[in-house]
Amino acid sequence: MIKFFLMVNKQGQTRLSRYYEHLEINKRTMLEAEVIKNCLSRSKDECSFIEYKDFKLVYRQYAALFIVVGIDQTENEMAVYELIHNFVEVLDKYFSRV
């Protein structure tokens, strides 16, 4: 199950966030800061899946934008990785030149 969906730029600013489980605002802020730090600090040669606390992070970089999805342990990482790509393709078709 997907727990959250984040779109973040290279400077670490959240551009879009969607949570599918209730979290208090201060916990969301702390979670986003830690998740962003973990994803931005990795090189392009490293895997796009990260074990983080009680869930997994799946992220993908498109130019200056990172898309990060938090999932539970039972979810398929490759399926979510492809979901991110399909989401970006839909945005590109709808808005052109995403």
On whether residue 98 sits in a domain, the answer given is: no
Q: How far apart are CA 74 and CA 55, in angstroms?
A: 9
Of the chain, the percentage scoring pLDDT greater than 90 comes to: 82
Inform me whether the pLDDT recorded for 97 exceeds 80: no
For 8-46, what is each residue's pLDDT tens digit?
999 999 999 999 999 999 999 999 999 999 998 988 889
* pTM for the whole structure: 0.90
Q: How many domains in the chain? A: 1
What residue type is assigned to position 71 of the chain? I
Q: What is the CATH number of the domain that holds 7?
A: 3.30.450.60
Q: How far apart are CA 44 and CA 87, in angstroms?
A: 21
For residue 10, give its domain range. Answer: 1-93
As beta bridge partners, residue 52 has 55
Instruction: Decide if pLDDT at 57 tops 80.
Output: yes
- 96 falls in which pLDDT band (50, 70, 90)? confident
Asked, for residue 20, whether it belongs to a domain, the answer is yes
Task: Give yes or no for a contact between 50 and 57, defined as CB atoms under 8 angstroms apart.
Answer: yes
Phi, psi of 17 (to 5 degrees): -140, 140
